[in-house]
């Protein structure tokens, strides 16, 4: 039976064989990889991925699609994690692999891919940040506007909170664009493929992550206003001078390193103890 795409799940199914081939090549799955696909849908990526690897994990919420997946692939080929990717504990993948004694996979790291629903893409990316130390790489299809924001440089129109938060934790590369005609039904926006590779512990400055997020959110809360106004509750005028930051700039003019410096300054001023993010 034909599956009717559900608006509430943001379903747009990829149908272009050329694009599918290009995405799978970008993912480049290898036997032994512990690969997780978020939102497998009707299997456009699932099938070619399983042509290259013996086993795949998928995270799916739609019960009708879950039923289809179970009828199409045996459990030894496809492990289905039923539920919302926004709430999914990716440690469960490692735990599942550990139970499969017949699988000779490297369970230290997982790889993640998928055509992410546009309506939850940003919160899902923030959710995945919590599992960066478990992940070797991620390859996603997202709304092009979101990808542009993810990889944007300071002082460009697309640069914002999402840029800063993700660029602190990941190396990112926009790979190629995907037109609306590649989907059924066609979305009203362009899509793009992005690769994300978590930074190593040596590349990340240890700081108070919660405070860093608060400072970045405050800075970008009113984009037209200067840092003097948006960070008034965080920094005094003389502290901007001490940090070498022009208080007359706007949030988009600062790089990730600037926000890290502000966070460390506020932390040291308040006498907080910082627990390293990664060992």
> Structural domain boundaries of the chain?
7-203, 209-270
Looking at residue 275, its pLDDT comes to: 46
Closest CA to 5 of 41, 57, 43: 41
List the beta strands (DSSP E) in 25-154: 35-38, 56-60, 78-82, 110-115, 135-143
The CA distance from 191 to 142, in Å, is: 6
Mean pLDDT throughout 87-95?
A: 94
Count CB-CB contacts under 10 A for residue 57.
22
What top-level class would CATH report for the domain 7-203? alpha beta
The mean pLDDT value for 225-242 works out to: 95
Whole-number average pLDDT of the chain: 90
pLDDT interval class at 272 (50, 70, 90): low
pTM: 0.89
Percent of the chain predicted with pLDDT > 70:
90
Fold of 209-270: Helicase, Ruva Protein; domain 3 (1.10.8)
Q: Tell me the CA distances in angstroms from 157 to 161, 195, 254, 268, one per residue in order.
A: 12, 21, 13, 32
């Amino acid at each position: 039976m034909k599956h009717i795409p559900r608006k509430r799940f943001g379903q747009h199914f990829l149908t272009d064989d050329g694009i599918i081939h290009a995405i799978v090549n970008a993912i480049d799955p290898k036997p032994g990889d512990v690969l997780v696909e978020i939102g497998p849908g009707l299997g456009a990526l699932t099938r070619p991925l399983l042509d290259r690897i013996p086993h795949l994990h998928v995270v799916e919420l739609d019960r009708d699609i879950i039923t289809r997946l179970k009828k199409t692939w045996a459990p030894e080929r496809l492990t289905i994690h039923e539920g919302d990717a926004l709430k999914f504990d990716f440690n469960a993948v490692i735990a599942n692999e550990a139970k499969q004694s017949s699988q000779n996979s490297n369970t230290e790291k997982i790889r993640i891919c998928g055509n992410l629903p546009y309506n939850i893409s940003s919160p899902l990316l923030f959710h995945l940040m919590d599992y960066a130390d478990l992940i070797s790489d991620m390859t996603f299809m997202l709304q092009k506007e979101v990808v542009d924001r993810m990889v944007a440089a300071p002082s460009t129109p697309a640069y914002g909170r999402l840029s800063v938060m993700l660029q602190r934790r990941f190396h990112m590369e926009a790979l190629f664009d995907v037109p609306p005609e590649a989907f059924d039904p066609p979305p009203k926006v362009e899509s793009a493929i992005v690769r994300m590779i978590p930074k190593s512990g040596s590349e990340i400055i240890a700081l108070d992550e919660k405070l860093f997020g608060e400072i970045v959110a405050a800075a970008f809360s009113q984009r037209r206003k200067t840092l003097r106004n948006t960070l008034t509750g965080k920094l005094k005028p003389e502290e901007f001078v001490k940090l070498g930051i022009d208080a007359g700039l706007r949030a988009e003019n600062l790089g990730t390193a600037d926000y890290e410096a502000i966070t460390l300054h506020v932390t040291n001023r308040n006498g907080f103890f910082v627990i390293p993010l990664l060992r």
